[in-house]
A and B are shown apart, each in its own frame.
Chain A
Amino acid sequence: GENVEQHPSTLSVQEGDSAVIKCTYSDSASNYFPWYKQELGKRPQLIIDIRSNVGEKKDQRIAVTLNKTAKHFSLHITETQPEDSAVYFCAASTGTASKLTFGTGTRLQVTL
C-alpha cells in the first residue's frame, strides 16, 4: 500500500520567515495530494491540495509543488504568522478508493 513520509517533524520559524515541509510517497498511482492543518484538539482542515496533472498551485501565502517523477511534494508557507502555528499533515490518495494516507505530521511553531 501507499506510504507517505514527512519531514521535518518539528519546525520553528520566526514570524515573517518562510516554512517548507516536504513529503514523499511510494505509490506512483497516487493522484491527489492534500495538505491539512490541525490545531490542538481540533479537526484536520484542508488548506490546499494538488492533483497529479499539476506541478504547482498557490493560494495567497501558501503554495504546494509536486514532482511526480521523484514522488515528492512540498508545502511552502511565506510570511508566516503566529496563527500558522499548528500541526500540518500531508496526504496522498488514489482515485479508486479515495482513502487518504497521511504523513506523520510537522509541528510548526511561529515565534514572534
Chain B
Amino acid sequence: EPEVTQTPSHQVTQMGQEVILRCVPISNHLYFYWYRQILGQKVEFLVSFYNNEISEKSEIFDDQFSVERPDGSNFTLKIRSTKLEDSAMYFCASSERQVTEAFFGQGTRLTVV
C-alpha cells in the first residue's frame, strides 16, 4: 500500500538554526499538507499546497516557515530560524483530491535545544 514517507524521523537542532523537513507524498496525490503536534496536544494545521502554490496557511505559519516542491516527488518544510517552541512532531500529509482522505506520514520529531 502506498504511503507518505518523511525524513528524518528525528531531528535535533540548536535554537536559531535552519531545518528542512522532507516528505515524499503518495505519487498520484495532488494536495499536500504540513501539520504539527506538540507533545500531548492536538494536531494543528500549518499549510496546504496545491498546483505548486500555497492554498491556505494558518497563523502558526509565519515568515519563518516556507514550503517547496523542488521536484516531482519531494515536498519540504523549512524553518529558517528555529525557536524552542518549534519543538513538535511535524506530519506531512497528502490527498488525492479535495474532501478526501488525507494520508499522514510517520512524522519528524523536531527538538530545538
In the complex, number of A-B residue pairs with CB atoms less than 8 Å apart? 59
Complex formed: what's the CA distance from A36 to B100 in Å? 13
Q: Among the listed A34, A44, A97, which residue makes an inter-chain contact with B48, where contact means beta carbons less than 8 Å apart?
A: A97
What mask results when residues 64 to 103 of chain B are scored 1 for a CB within 8 Å of chain A, else 0? Answer: 0000000000000000000000000001000100111111
Partner of A102, one of B44, B56, B100, B107: B44
Q: Are B42 and A95 in contact (CB under 8 A)?
A: no
How many B residues face the partner with a CB closer than 8 A?
A: 24
* Count of chain A residues near B, Cβ 8 A: 25
* 8 A Cβ contacts from A80-97 to B: 89, 91, 93, 95-97
Q: Does B52 contact A (CB under 8 A)?
A: no
Check B43 for interface membership: any CB of A closer than 8 A.
Answer: yes
User: Which residue numbers of A lie inside 8 Å of B, CB to CB?
Assistant: 31-32, 34, 36, 42-46, 49, 51, 89, 91, 93, 95-105
